[in-house]
Structure 1
Amino acid sequence: MNKILFFDVDGTLYNSEKVMPDSAKEALLQARRNGYEIAIATGRAPFMIDSLLEELDIQTYVTFNGQYVVYQGEVVYANGIAKEELAKIIAFGEARNEPVVFLDDKQMIASVGEHKMVSESLDTLKYPYPALDSSYYMQHEVYQTLIFMEEKDEHLYRTAFPNVEFVRWHRYSCDILPKGGSKAAGIEKVLSRMGLTLADAIAFGDGMNDIEMLEAVGTSVAMGNGHEKVKAVATYVTDHVDADGLAKAMRHLKII
C-alpha cells in the first residue's frame, strides 16, 4: 500500500481563490486517520506555507521545487544555484530589464523596485511586493530565485545558461533550479529517510513544475485544471480543484 501522499499547493490544495476547499481539508484529515502520512511538495517557500502547515499539522514538506526539504521538522536537504552562476544570470536579465526575486526559508527579496512582471506574478500568489536588495544573494543563502521574462524569451536563457533549469509557473516568471533539481528529487530525500521507494508514494499536482514528480511516484493525480502536459503523464485525471477534484480523486483511489 502507498504510505505517503505529496500535495502541490496552488491549483491542487488551494483553489482559484487561493483557499483550501473544506472537502480537500476533510479528505486529508481522513487520509491521515486511515494511516497515510501527509506531505507538501510545492514551488513556494517554507514561510509562504506556514499557515497551511499549521492548519493541517504537517511536519514534512518539499519546498522551492525540491531545493529545501524538511522531514518531521528537520531540514534534510538544502540547495541553491552557485552565487557565481546566479550573478551571470542576473546580469543577463538586468541588460534586458528582466529582474529577479530571491528567496530563502524566511523571506523574499526583489532585485528592483516596482516592476509590472514581478507584481503581476506575485499577485497570483496573494503576496505583496518584496523589499529591495539587489545584492541579497551575495550575503545570504538563497534556495530559490525567480526570473521574470516572457515565455517567448525563455529560449535565450536556456541557451545562455545550460547548467540550470528554468521552470515556468506564470506567464512572466520562471523558477531557476540547479540542473536535475525538481520536486521528484526532493521527494526522494524524504522517502530515503522513511525507508520507502518512489513506488510507495502518491502525488497530486497541476502545474508544469509537477511533471517530474507525477512521473516518478507510484501513483499520480493531475487536477482537472492542470496543464495538458501534466495530465498526459498522470495515472489519473480528476475534476477541477474548484469542483472538489482533490477529494474526488482520493475517493477514486480508495485513500478515503
Structure 2
Amino acid sequence: MTLHVAESRTFKTHSKKIIFFDIDGTLLDYRKRLPVSAKEAVHRLQELGHEVALATGRSPFMLQRVAEELRIDSYVGFNGQYVVMRGERIYTNPFQEEELGELSLFAASSGHPLVYLDEDSMRSSMMHHSYVEQCIASLEYEHPECDPEYYRGRPIYQTMLFCEEPEELQYRERFTGLDFVRWHPFSLDVLPGGGSKAGGIAQLIRRMGFEPEEAYAFGDNLNDMEMLQYVGHGIAMGNAPDCVKQIARYVTADVDRHGIASGLRMVGLLP
C-alpha cells in the first residue's frame, strides 16, 4: 500500500542513510533544469552526513553536469549496469557482443534504429531517423554519429531501440535474454538480461555497508519500479505514472512543485 505520510518505525541501524535520485523527471524538471529547492535539499543531506547517489538510465558522460552541480561522486548508471562509488568504478555488466549482433541484424531488417552507449559516447546504427532525433533531443543531445559496428570490440552497457509500442512485442518475444524498458513513446532502453537499477543499487549499498532498509530512492518512470520496491523507502514523484505510484511506499509532489524537498521532509530526512 502506498503511504503519503511518513511512518514512525524503529530500526536497528545507524543514523546515516543513503539516498538515490533518478535524474530526468526527478531531479531535473520538464525543462531539464535543476530546481533550486532540489539542489538545496541535496546539499543539506550531504551536510547532515548522509550518502547521496544518482540512479539513472543515463550514461556516465550524460550525467556529469548534474553530478558536478550537486557534488555527487557515487552513481548507478545505465539502469544498473555501471556503478561508481566515490569516483571509483566498482561494478559493470556489459552486453555479450553476440547478443547485440543478433539484435542489430533484426532491428535493421525491421527498419528500427539502435543507439549503442558506452561510458564515453554513443553511436547510432542509422545515419538519420526522426525518432532518434526527437528522443535524444529530449535529453539535450544531438543525433549521434552513425556507426552500425560500434558495439564490436568494446563494452556496451545499454542500447536504445526506437520503435512504437505495438512494435516492441516482437523484440520481447524474440530476445528473451534481454530486458526492454520503455522510457519514451518512440524508444526503449535495452539491458542485459536481469539488469535493473535495483541490481546496481544492491552492489553499491553492500560496498558502503548499508542495508536496503537504510536506503531511500526517488523516481518517476517505469525503469524506477524495481528500485523503488528494493529500497526500504521508495518515493515516487507526483508526475510519475500511476503504476509507479502504486508500488512506491510514498508519493511526493511533482518535480516542478518542489517534489524532492517535500519528499525528503515527508520521510523525515529533512526538517
Amino acid at match of 1:140: R
Give the equivalent residue in structure 1 for 2:171: 157
5 Å matches for 1:52-63? 52-63=66-77
Alignment counterpart, residue 140 of structure 1, candidates 154, 166, 169: 154
Unaligned 5+ residue runs, structure 1? none
Match of 2:43? 29
TM (normalized to structure 2)?
Answer: 0.93
1:139 CA drift (Å): 2.6
- 3-state SS in 1 of match to 2:30: coil
Aligned partners of 1:13, 1:126: CA distance in 2, in Å?
15
Match of 2:263 in 1: 249
How many angstroms apart in 2 are the aligned matches of 1:37 and 1:196? 10
Q: Tell me, in whole angstroms, the C-alpha distance in 1 between the residues paired with 2:192 and 2:153.
A: 19
What does residue range 229-244 of structure 1 map to in structure 2 within 5 Å? 229-244=243-258
Instruction: Provide the secondary structure at the position in 2 that maps to 1:109.
Output: strand
Counterpart residue number, 1:19: 33
Instruction: Pick from 124, 142, 148 the counterpart of residue 110 of structure 1.
Output: 124
For residues 74-123 of structure 1, the C-alpha deviation after alignment (integer angstroms, 9 at most, x for no partner) is 11111122111111111111111101001111011111111011111111
- The aligned residue for residue 97 of structure 1 is 111
Partner of 2:210: 196
Shift of 1:129: 0.8
> Gaps spanning 5+ residues in structure 2: where?
1-14
Identical pairs, percent: 46
Deviation at 1:252, TM superposition (A): 1.2
The answer to whether the Cα contact below 8 Å between 2:115 and 2:159 also exists between their aligned partners in 1 is yes
Moved over 4 A (4+): none
Determine helix, strand or coil for the equivalent of 1:204. strand
- In structure 2, the CA distance between the partners of 1:200 and 1:2, relative to structure 1 (3 Å rule), is farther
How many pairs does the alignment contain?
Answer: 256
- Separation in structure 2 between the aligned mates of residue 86 and residue 30 of structure 1, nearest angstrom: 43
Maintained 8 Å contact 1:239/1:245: yes
> Shift of residue 2 of structure 1?
5.9
Give the superposed CA RMSD: 0.9
Contact map agreement 2:95 2:155 (CA 8 A) in 1? no
Partner SS for 2:95: coil
Counterpart position of 2:198? 184
SS of 1:98's partner is: coil
